[in-house]
Amino acid sequence: MTTPTQKRLKTAVVGGGAAGFFCAVCLKELSPEADVTIFERSQKVLAKVAVSGGGRCNCTNSFEGVTDLKQVYPRGHRLVKRLFNLFDHRDAYAWFERHGVALTTQDDGCVFPVSQNSQTIIDCFLREAQRLGVEIRTGVGIKSLEELADFDCIVVTTGGSPRREAYDWLLPSGIGIEEPVPSLFTLNIADEALRSLMGTVTESTVMFPGTPLKAEGPLLVTHWGLSGPATLRLSSYAARLLHENDYQLPLSVNWANRKPDEVAAEIQRIIQLHGQKQVVSARPFALSTRLWTYLAEKSLGQRSQNRWESLNKKELNRLANTLCNDSFQTNGRAPFKDEFVTCGGVSLTSVNPTTLECKTRPGLYFAGEVLDIDGVTGGFNFQAAWTTGVAVAMAVEGKSNLL
The pLDDT score that the predictor gives to residue 1 is 39
Dump the DSSP string for 128-192. Answer: HHHHHT-EEEES-----GGGGTT-SEEEE-----S-GGGGGGGGGGT--EEEEEEESEEEEE--H
CA distances from 265 to 67, 203, 216, 276, 281 (A): 31, 19, 21, 18, 18
The pLDDT score that the predictor gives to residue 315 is 98
The pLDDT score that the predictor gives to residue 4 is 44
Say how far apart CA 238 and CA 240 lie, in whole Å: 6
Phi, psi (deg, nearest 5) at residue 142: -90, 120
Q: What is the mean pLDDT of each run of 10 residues along the chain (403 residues)?
A: 60 98 98 97 96 95 97 98 98 98 97 98 98 98 97 97 94 97 94 96 98 96 95 96 97 97 97 97 95 97 97 97 97 69 95 98 98 96 98 92 61
CA distances from 331 to 166, 231, 251 (A): 27, 14, 10
Residue among 275, 41, 286 at smallest CA distance from 140: 41
The pLDDT score that the predictor gives to residue 2 is 44
The pLDDT score that the predictor gives to residue 5 is 45
The pLDDT score that the predictor gives to residue 173 is 97
Q: Which residues pair with 112 in a beta bridge?
A: 104
Residue among 167, 172, 124, 155 at smallest CA distance from 39: 155
The pLDDT score that the predictor gives to residue 7 is 64
Q: Residue 402: CB partners within 8 Å, gap ≥ 6?
A: none
